[in-house]
Amino acid sequence: MKRTNDFLVGLTVIAAVAVVTLAILWVKQSDLGRKRSEVTARFRDVGSVRVGAQVVIRGVQAGRVESLALAPDGWVEARLALDPTAELPPDPVVLLNESSLFGEWQATVLGRDALPRDPNVARLIAEADIGGGVLPGATLPDIAQLTAVAGRIAGDVASVAERFEVAFDDRAARELRTSIRNIAELSSVLAQTVKDQSTNLTTMSSDVREMVNSLVAASRDVKSISTRFDSSTARGEVRAIVDDAASAAKGLRETSQRLLTISERLGSSEERLRRFIATSDSVMIKINRGDGSLGLLVNDPSLYRGADSTLRELQSLIADMKRNPKKYVNVRIF
């Protein structure tokens, strides 16, 4: 009986140890009898990632973080243990991010072309890319950081709202209502103006229609004139007009040449006339001064009276000769 109890106790202890061992292995996610492939990822900072965090490829758990170790030059290298059947995407990179709101982190393996459009993430990936089979990695902000940023944004929004509340007081509300009322009155005035001007617009449209009709008629007249011009050109009338115009232009050129010659001659005649007038002026000056016979005749009254008496005696002599011709002419015929 005692042996039976000891056997049961021993069996119970062995079962408890096996259960605890299995539980520990399950918590540590140990793989018994499975060979995993390992890759190394390089990060500037791993955030809150711990050993044992899951590795996700295309949304499916494909391994776990095996170890974390500090590397030279301020880097951190993480060794990832992947399932044998897991295939890495082309040009793989690793992102560390939170997987839940309870602080759990995971390592996501994805292609470089699937990275989020974040300049900071792209910079971290470019800095961590050293080749040699080491995957470049970056760490996304955790919920706490995002919450802090959201808190700062909320504070800024509250500050803006407070300022808006200060600016938009009762007076501003009254002014806004007044502005709305003025806009309503202005819209009513504009509606009435449009209604009043509708008649003018109708009249204007009629005038425009008449103008268009006039333009159409004018275009018809221009077309008719062009047709007549074409017919005149075909009959040679335009050529004759051009020839007549050329002849008239030639005559005008000859006339202008003659006028130019006459003007030159008039210029020379004017010079001669000017010299004649100057000479006559000097002669008249001499006559007025009494120089010469003509000057003495003009300026001496005695010569005028003597000439006058001589003229009267000559007239009386001629009259006497007419009355008594034999007294002065004696003709004898042998």
Domain residue ranges of the chain, discontinuous segments joined by +: 28-140, 278-334
Is residue 68 within 8 A of residue 42, CB to CB? The reply is no
Evaluate if residue 149 carries a pLDDT over 60: no
Structure token digits, residue 18: 């096996």
Rounded-to-integer distance, Cα 256 and Cα 250, Å: 10
Condensed to tens digits (0 to 9), the pLDDT of residues 166-208 reads: 555 567 667 777 878 888 787 777 777 777 767 766 777 777 7
* 25 band by pLDDT with thresholds 50, 70 and 90: low
Structure token digits, residue 81: 């243990």
* 92 band by pLDDT with thresholds 50, 70 and 90: very high
pTM comes to 0.38
Rounded-to-integer distance, Cα 289 and Cα 298, Å: 10
The CA-CA-CA angle for residues 220, 226, 227, to 5°, reads: 90
Greatest mean pLDDT among 151-160, 224-233, 270-279 lies in 270-279
Strand partners of residue 61? 56
* 293 band by pLDDT with thresholds 50, 70 and 90: low
Q: How far is CA 79 from CA 63, 108, 127, 304, 323, in A?
A: 11, 13, 19, 160, 179
* 109 band by pLDDT with thresholds 50, 70 and 90: very high
Condensed to tens digits (0 to 9), the pLDDT of residues 121-137 reads: 889 998 888 888 899 99
Evaluate if residue 237 carries a pLDDT over 70: no
Greatest mean pLDDT among 52-61, 136-145, 213-222 lies in 52-61
Q: Answer with the residue of higher pLDDT: 227 or 133.
A: 133
Is residue 94 within 8 A of residue 47, CB to CB? The reply is no
pLDDT-wise least confident of 69-83, 121-135, 146-160: 146-160
